[in-house]
Amino acid sequence: MSRRFFAALCVTGFFAILSSTMSKSPVLAPFAESVGTPEYLMGFVASASTIPGLIASLPAGSLSDRLGRTRIIICAGVVFATAPFLYVLVTTPYQLIMVRFYHGFATAILVPVANAAIVDMYPKSKGQRVSTFSSSTAVGRAIAPTLGGYILLVTISDYHELYIVVGIFGILALTSALGLRGKKESYEAPVAREEVPRSAVREGIEVALNRGIVATSLVEAAQYYTYGAFEFYVVLYAQSLGIDLFQIGIVLAAEIATFVIGKPIMGGLSDKIGRRKPIILGLLVGAVSMFAAQFVTSFYQLVMISIVYGLGFSLVTSSTPPLVSELTRKELYGVSMGFLGTIMDVGQVLGPIVTGFILAAGYGYSGSFTSLGLLLFLTALIFFGVHHRRA
């Protein structure tokens, strides 16, 4: 039964992230233009779906500690299944922002609660399992832009037809989530009912006062800060080198393929040798790749940078959720994963914005990539210092 549960969870993650990614890549920008979105609102359209991660991940994790993981995952599935069809009704920029905001709750809820469910059920192999689940979502994320672009091509940019397909994938995600219900008792750890239930605020404070969890969450934020910035600006950097869009797609695909292949392997490694060493090594590998990116002059060199960065990313993100689970009590797995997800989203939101300011200030791609490398390097030092004192 546990194998069926994990398989169903991975299928849910695959269809969910395939659906949510296809709703924005590559369709969101041209769709926003088609409803008359002015330039000053484009950034709000792009970031609206990320904001729910800042406000929903922690409460969702806390609720899952009380109500059970399955119920909360199904709630996320309902959003995945309903939000895409709302795009068909959009006629103004503000409506689009509201739909994107609603859609963002789906991923904000699903990922931390799914991770909490996995560490509940697979305590001895949680690193590998969390990484495998993440890879299943990464496959969906990798397929989405190409599939979405193809649909736009064959439908002559019929945005409504594309969002109907997005909705079908969202329904498949909900269907898979509903299949988890029969396996509830096999993976959910009972919460001590004899204790007086504490508020989510008190639980959040307890987690936030744990220096180890905070340090690990800052690692996640720094990693996703660089990921968001690199994924966006490497496209413009590659174009400045004369690399065409098809080859740029290969560069991005190489990064995602490294995630998909590398994360389960690195997760298994962290189960054997511990979480801290892979995290520090991954941060340093990522830092080196960012420092080196500014010296790239060809397509093949950029592919190598993408692969190396993906390796570092895999080392870090395959170990951070399991480490957080090991630094907290079992009753707080959900809220801890929610805290991790919230801090991660802060980093992912800030990365492209701050890097854009660095570019605008005249420091160019050299200064931008150097800033990303320095952030990862300094994060490795801080993480080592905090956990070295705890050891």
Residue-wise pLDDT tens digits, 185-225: 444 444 444 444 456 667 767 777 788 888 999 999 999 99
Residues 166 and 244 in one domain: no
* Angstrom distance (rounded) from CA 378 to CA 283: 9
Cβ of 306: how many Cβ atoms within 10 Å? 26
Reply yes or no on whether the pLDDT at 17 is more than 90: yes
User: Is the CB of residue 287 less than 8 Å from the CB of residue 193?
Assistant: no
- What pLDDT shows up at residue 332? 81
Residues 233 and 329 in one domain: yes
- What pLDDT shows up at residue 1? 53
* Domain containing residue 306: CATH number: 1.20.1250.20
Dihedral Cα 345, 86, 14, 125, nearest 10 deg: 50
Report for 69-78, 227-236, 258-267, 348-357: range of highest mean pLDDT:
69-78
Residues 175 and 218 in one domain: no
Which residue type does 11 have?
V
Predicted structure pTM score: 0.70
364: left (phi over 0), alpha (psi -120 to 50) or beta: left
Per-residue DSSP letter, 23: T
Helix then strand count (H, E) for the chain reads: 17, 0
Q: Which residue has the higher pLDDT, 332 or 373?
A: 373
Per-residue DSSP letter, 196: P
Residues 175 and 219 in one domain: no
User: Is the CB of residue 27 less than 8 Å from the CB of residue 162?
Assistant: yes
User: Is residue 357 in some structural domain?
Assistant: yes
Q: What percent of the chain clears pLDDT 90, i.e. is strictly above it?
A: 38
Residues 119 and 214 in one domain: no
Reply yes or no on whether the pLDDT at 242 is more than 60: yes
User: Is residue 22 in some structural domain?
Assistant: yes
- What pLDDT shows up at residue 389? 62
User: Is residue 47 in some structural domain?
Assistant: yes
Residue-wise pLDDT tens digits, 264-302: 888 888 888 888 999 999 999 999 999 999 999 999 999
Mean pLDDT (whole number) for 20-38: 83
Domain end: 125, 157, 184, which one? 184
Q: Which residue has the higher pLDDT, 65 or 375?
A: 375
Reply yes or no on whether the pLDDT at 43 is more than 70: no
- What pLDDT shows up at residue 94? 94
User: Is residue 266 in some structural domain?
Assistant: yes
- What pLDDT shows up at residue 289? 96
Residue-wise pLDDT tens digits, 339-362: 887 888 888 888 877 888 888 788
* Angstrom distance (rounded) from CA 33 to CA 86: 17
Residues 63 and 208 in one domain: no
* Average pLDDT in the chain: 85
Residue-wise pLDDT tens digits, 137-194: 988 988 887 788 788 878 887 889 999 999 999 999 999 999 998 654 444 444 444 4
Alpha-carbon Rg for the chain, nearest whole angstrom, is 20
Residues 180 and 202 in one domain: no
User: Is residue 192 in some structural domain?
Assistant: no
- What pLDDT shows up at residue 218? 93
Residues 241 and 376 in one domain: yes
User: Is residue 79 in some structural domain?
Assistant: yes
Residues 135 and 254 in one domain: no
Domain tally, the chain: 2
Residue-wise pLDDT tens digits, 113-135: 998 898 888 887 877 788 789 88
Residues 1 and 84 in one domain: yes
Domain end: 152, 184, 216, which one? 184
- What pLDDT shows up at residue 192? 45
- What pLDDT shows up at residue 110? 94
Reply yes or no on whether the pLDDT at 16 is more than 50: yes
- What pLDDT shows up at residue 80? 98
The first and second tokens of residue 171, run together, are: 């329904």
Domain end: 132, 157, 184, which one? 184
Of the candidate ranges 38-42, 231-235, 257-261, 301-305, the one whose mean pLDDT is the lowest: 38-42
* Angstrom distance (rounded) from CA 210 to CA 154: 52
Instruction: Give backbone dihedrals phi and psi of 68, rounded to 5 degrees, phi first.
Output: 105, 150
User: Is residue 122 in some structural domain?
Assistant: yes
Domain ranges, residue 358: 198-391
